[in-house]
Amino acid sequence: MGIELKLEKKIKIIVDSIVILRYFYNADNYVCSSLTGDNMLKLFLAFVFLSTSVFAKPANILLTENNSVVFNQKVTEAYASAKALEVITKSRKASPIFLVLDTPGGSVMAGLRFVDIIKATNIPIHTITVFAASMGYQFVQQLGTRYILNSGVLMSHRGAISGLSGQVPGELNSRLSHIEALLNRMSEDAAKRVGVSKEVYEALVINELWLSGKDAVAKNHADQIANVKCSDELIKGSYTQDLNTLFGKVTLKFSKCPMISFPVGVEFGKSVKPENFLKINRLIKLNRRRINLTL
């Protein structure tokens, strides 16, 4: 909790200093002398805090069975609900909770409801980004401290919709207006967290914004690089996930340590040797990227 507050204060001071720097840049020389001592102090402190936050040593985080929840599928109503329940259950035993993200995004409404539910636990819920795209990016900006792996990736873009219909003029206009207002609010929230205007944020993501570890921290889309370790119970543990395909059911075996993101075992009628995993990699990716209303 203490780390989170310190980082938020640093970000606020940095954002304040950016405003002052713009003032310097746009003002005539004689106007610059009118800056108050308070603003000059903010400018000085910004550079001090910037060096300690952006270039700080990585946070060392140990994930355990009780303090971590892994979100590693597309955002659907069913999956987000299951993960929300997992967060609620674990929040009674541990604080903070680390939400490990390895998701391509998905349903906007399911994602927003997921955030609402887990925020209601009233404990710090920090994100660790392995890969957080679209709605996954929004999770990062909506929750606690934004940790990211050095190799982690954040991606944000404009919303997209499919399957919408209705009378024109009529209910289609109302539905589009509702969706536009929803997406605008999400853009405003993300822009505020990043420390830019809504217009600047929308310009950044118009053709997809891709950021990796240190770049994400430097541009304030993440707070700190993290070195993440898994407890022995996670390293030794595993779980399975079934995929229904045109060729039958595929059972994937994953390590409980979320740093190991690719299946450690596959059964497709019979056990598949590790060297043949790549042959079904495309099938796994396709299954995780089937989405309707996306962001």
C-alpha–C-alpha distance, residues 88 and 31, integer Å: 54
Mean pLDDT of 27-36: 46
- The percentage of the chain sitting over the pLDDT mark of 70, rounded to a whole number, equals 72
Take residue 256 and report the two structure tokens written for it. Answer: 């409980």
Mean pLDDT of 98-120: 96
Q: If you average pLDDT over every residue of the chain, what do you get? A: 81
- Inform me whether the pLDDT recorded for 293 exceeds 60: no
CATH number of 59-162+189-230: 3.90.226.10
Name the more confident of 276 and 247. 247
Mean pLDDT of 69-79: 95
- Inform me whether the pLDDT recorded for 265 exceeds 70: yes
Mean pLDDT of 267-275: 63
Helices (H), the chain: 2-26, 29-32, 37-53, 77-91, 108-119, 135-142, 171-194, 198-205, 213-218, 232-236, 281-288
Name the more confident of 288 and 72. 72
pTM over 0.85: no
- Inform me whether the pLDDT recorded for 255 exceeds 90: yes
Q: Please, what is the Cα angle at 106 between 102 and 107, to 5 degrees?
A: 135
**Which pLDDT score is estimated for 168?**
77
- Inform me whether the pLDDT recorded for 271 exceeds 80: no
Name the more confident of 122 and 160. 122
Mean pLDDT of 248-270: 85
**Which pLDDT score is estimated for 25?**
46
Other CB atoms within a 10 A radius of the CB of residue 206 amount to 10
**Which pLDDT score is estimated for 291?**
33
Nearest to 160 by CA among 294, 5, 18: 294
**Which pLDDT score is estimated for 44?**
52
**Which pLDDT score is estimated for 267?**
82
Mean pLDDT of 33-48: 52
Which band of pLDDT confidence, cut at 50, 70 and 90, is reported for residue 27? very low
**Which pLDDT score is estimated for 169?**
83
| Least confident segment among 36-45, 59-68, 141-150, 177-186 | 36-45
> Cβ(177)–Cβ(165) under 8 Å?
no
**C-alpha 214 chain-centroid distance:** 15
Tell me which range, 45-49, 53-57, 91-95, 272-276, is most confidently predicted by mean pLDDT: 91-95
